[in-house]
Homo-oligomer: A and B are copies of this chain.
Amino acid sequence: MIWVIGHKNPDTDSIVSAIVYAKKINAKPARAGKLNPETEFVLQKFGIEAPELKEKIEKNEKVVIVDTNNKEELIPIEGEIIEIIDHHRLFGNLSTANPIEVCIKPVGSTSTIIAERFINNLTKEEAGLLLSGILSDTVIFKSPTTTEKDKEIAKKLAEIAGIENIESFGIELKSKASQLSDNPKENVLRDFKITEINNTKFGIGQVEIIGYEKVMERKQEYLEAMEEIRKEKNLDFVLFMVTDIIDEGTKLLIVGENPEKIAKAFEKELKDGYIYLPKVMSRKKQIMPVLYEKFK
């Protein structure tokens, strides 16, 4: 059995990439956690079943990994990794016994890479799924991770999927994503990545919402939830990116022994537990490199 699976705390890009690629190579898609409301909306819209929840890849199983190359973000793998397709930085913590296929490209989403590969051979539903992956990960092309390739492929996918207005479909998608739960901890963990840089462990969550106030009105509760997560997961810092897709900026909540150190890395002063970062929307392209530079 060959599985195709993305990272833990799956986002839309990782789920749709797994679904479409699995169909193309006659494998089975899986998910490494609970679907978020945006992804649920997408699957419902295109009438596609949610992938099976997997907690481990067994010894006799094979797996294709999509949308990550970071061991920390994967379920335990006792079987064989046969391929990796991703658009994140090289983490350098995953090794294999044999040569395998690895395709990493600096584009806005894994969906872009998979769509490009099969662009002449996609059903309406597959195109819709992959378009959703692109729009979700690039925040409707507003994220600085966006490339010309993403826009070009998205246009072709929209044609195949019969979606006339990409922008308004994107906003519909993102408004689902901005439906926060009542539980701050759940929201922080919804899209949460753990990275270790030179023995300092970071957990970084992100919500992309319409209007900061949805989170900022309950800031104190969020900071407490973040501190709880920090202790539970044994992290040095927990950062929470509250990204407003209309303002195109981020309020970054920070907890840790010395949160000022993070604020300083961004040349800001910490006030009330957060810093405001105008024009910052991407964890990967605008938060991670700064931390990496500071802590490496």
Q: Which A residues are closer than 8 A to B by beta carbons?
A: 71, 84, 87-106, 145, 284-285, 288-289, 292-293, 296
Contact = CB atoms under 8 A, between A and B. Distances in A.
Q: Does more than half of chain A's interface fall in helix, strand or loop, or is it mixed?
A: loop
Contact of A104 (B88, B97, B101, B288): B101
Nearest to A81: B90
A101 B102 CA distance: 10
Closest 8 pairs (CB-CB, A-B):
A92-B95, A102-B104, A99-B106, A97-B292, A90-B96, A89-B99, A92-B94, A89-B96
B95 A100 contact: no
Contacts of A101: 104-106
A266 to B, nearest CB: 16
Nearest to A82: B106
Contacts of A92: 71, 92-96
B97 A288 contact: yes
A285 B100 CA distance: 12
A128 B145 CA distance: 39
Nearest to A70: B95
